[in-house]
Structure 1
Amino acid sequence: MSAEKTLPRKIESLQELAADYDALLCDVWGVIHNGYNLFPGVAEALQGWRENVGPVLLLTNAPRPAEAVQRRLDRMDCPRSAYDGILSSGDAARDMLTQRGAEGQVCYFVGASKDVDVLNGIDIEFAPAEDADFILLTGMSNDMEETLEDYADEIARWHELKLPLICANPDRIVQIGEQVIYCAGALAEIYENNGGEVIWLGKPYLPIYETGLTRLQKMTNMETPRILAIGDGFKTDIPGANAAELDVLFITGGLSETLTQESQTPEDVETILRDYDSYAHYFMKHLIW
């Protein structure tokens, strides 16, 4: 995989890269959908890749099991023929909860009702923060209305109790339709910056990329498949792929378009990503085959 930091190349279709790679490691939110609807042409682009090139593994920081992510894609009419598998940070959280439950640890859960799938079937005790050994954070209770300031007192209480925090969604923000909301990563970042212990799961951390590589090795039946990573997250998708030494296709029609609206040229993209100490090899607005 290329690690050379040159200006990213603008592409008009995914077909331009088909001969150079064997598999895709593709983000979900901001690349495939905006929280409500699929982006036009995305499903066809992924289907085209699978039919003509190789497997597509979806890699998401959703703090829910892969099955829950799939159900959401089903509701958006994303065909299952567009991907071969899903790997979520929620799966990693379930593995960690199972391990800690076996050790007799007690969990304090912070998150929305939509995230409770991550807890189902796990043998672990839950309790208020004062009686817990650690925190599992999947996000705000009501992320459509709450802000970071609403959690200032709660975060201060976590500090007083000196509880380690497992962040099941490292995303700081995400786009839902035209609205940008805060994710678990924004709260965890505040906690960590003020001295709290945070265990980060998902992108941009290497363990989830190592798991993804193992899966794609099996899917392609190759020891070293040429993998193209696709994402729109400044702090997650792109630096994570860089750390994993994967080539990157940056999608400018997700968070970049919402937050900057200045990603039309290679120089624009380089400048935007440089602020996050990351870089991309290619860019396009939305996936098109």
Structure 2
Amino acid sequence: MTRIIETLADISDIYDAAFVDLWGCVHNGVKAFPSAVDALRGYRARGGKVVLVTNAPRSRHEVAKQLDRFEVPTDCWDSIATSGDSARAAMFRGAVGRKVWFMGQKHDLPFFEPLHLIEDPVEVEQVPLEEAEGIVCCGPFDPHADPDVNRPQFLYAKQKGMKLLCANPDIVVDRGERREWCAGALARLYTEMGGESLYFGKPHPPIYDLARRRLAELGHDVPNDRILAIGDGVVTDIRGAMGEDIDSLFISGGLAAEETATREQPEPKALEAYLRREEVAPTYSIGFLR
């Protein structure tokens, strides 16, 4: 049974490290949530380590710049693990070939900047779909267009046997008050059409391996039962935590605010019904990170 808590401090002494989602938990895609910032500062003051674990399709350095723009201060986190870094490593190892068709927007182009951690990286070239060996998907060309608009290109790619590298498994995010489609929605469609999609962010293992390496870089070897995953996505954050055998705190006031009748806190019966329908069992829940 999921326990509804009032604040992160209620349970913080149980955990030495937290894997914290960003979008919907720490910021809304525009600006930081002050209560979340204060909660993470308090957690770190008590000795906890905070690794921001995000499905952003970019490097941790680019995410850090974005956090600065959103006014998320550096004193509320210790390190960052991104889906983008995991996916970039795979791309430069040749996971989808050398010639790739890129799906995304201009701000996603740093994804192709050299990754010097890879020995003998593949020289990746962006080409038109008709010349491509595979697809690199950082997101839709238009985040407000139905993913189905990509069916003709996906049908061609599937027939050619191309793999799609998904740099962000999120299906949707809320940017301020507006909902947007993410790369995960395109990868899901491609898979449903019979194509092969490769995932590197939550809920899949590569990003958790990276998050643990980030903890190790901080000088901490933390066992699973002392790690808490925090996030608002049941498909990504909560299922990922369950797959990694770590406890989780579900932020009901993010993507599932309507389904859980969340104002300050989730309505218990609505929360229970939602979690049962989604077939997930977070350890704890709270309306908003605070």
Q: Percent identity?
A: 37
Residue in 1 that maps onto 2:85: 91
Q: Which whole-Å CA distance do the structure 2 matches of 1:200 and 1:83 have between them?
A: 25
**Unpaired runs of 5+ in structure 1?**
1-6
Equivalent residue pairs, number: 279
User: Does residue 276 in structure 1 map to residue 269 in structure 2?
Assistant: no
Query: Which gives a bigger RCO, structure 1 or 2 (Cα 8 Å, sep 6+)?
Result: 1
Residue in 2 that maps onto 1:47: 41
- Does the 8 Å contact 2:99/2:126 carry over to 1? yes
AA aligned to 1:75 is R
Residue in 2 that maps onto 1:81: 75
For the aligned residue pairs, the C-alpha RMSD in angstroms reads 1.8
Q: Which whole-Å CA distance do the structure 2 matches of 1:182 and 1:9 have between them?
A: 31
User: Does residue 34 in structure 1 map to residue 46 in structure 2?
Assistant: no
User: Does residue 13 in structure 1 map to residue 7 in structure 2?
Assistant: yes
Q: Aligned ranges for residues 1-289 of structure 1 at < 5 Å?
A: 7-100=1-94, 105-121=98-114, 123-143=123-143, 145-219=144-218, 221-224=220-223, 226-257=226-257, 259-263=258-262, 264-288=266-290
In the TM superposition, residue 229 of structure 1 has moved relative to its aligned partner by 0.4
Q: Which whole-Å CA distance do the structure 1 matches of 2:278 and 2:209 have between them?
A: 22
Where 1:283 maps in the other structure, the secondary structure is strand
Residue in 2 that maps onto 1:4: none
In the TM superposition, residue 268 of structure 1 has moved relative to its aligned partner by 2.6
In the TM superposition, residue 149 of structure 1 has moved relative to its aligned partner by 2.9
**Unpaired runs of 5+ in structure 2?**
116-122
- Does the 8 Å contact 1:22/1:220 carry over to 2? no
In the TM superposition, residue 256 of structure 1 has moved relative to its aligned partner by 0.8
- Does the 8 Å contact 2:30/2:70 carry over to 1? yes
AA aligned to 2:88 is R
Q: Which whole-Å CA distance do the structure 2 matches of 1:260 and 1:267 have between them?
A: 11
In the TM superposition, residue 236 of structure 1 has moved relative to its aligned partner by 0.6
In the TM superposition, residue 73 of structure 1 has moved relative to its aligned partner by 0.7
- 182-191 or 221-230: bigger deviation: 221-230
- Does the 8 Å contact 2:239/2:280 carry over to 1? yes
In the TM superposition, residue 231 of structure 1 has moved relative to its aligned partner by 0.4
Q: Which whole-Å CA distance do the structure 2 matches of 1:80 and 1:283 have between them?
A: 25
- TM-score when scaled to structure 1? 0.91
Residue in 2 that maps onto 1:3: none
Q: Which whole-Å CA distance do the structure 2 matches of 1:165 and 1:249 have between them?
A: 31
Cα-to-partner distance string for 1:111-144 (whole Å, 9 max, x where unaligned): 111111111136312211221111001111121x
In the TM superposition, residue 247 of structure 1 has moved relative to its aligned partner by 0.5
- Does the 8 Å contact 2:155/2:193 carry over to 1? no
Q: Which whole-Å CA distance do the structure 1 matches of 2:271 and 2:213 have between them?
A: 30
Where 2:235 maps in the other structure, the secondary structure is coil
Change (3 A) 1:99 1:222: closer
Where 1:249 maps in the other structure, the secondary structure is strand
- TM-score when scaled to structure 2? 0.90
AA aligned to 2:51 is L
Q: Which whole-Å CA distance do the structure 1 matches of 2:174 and 2:34 have between them?
A: 16
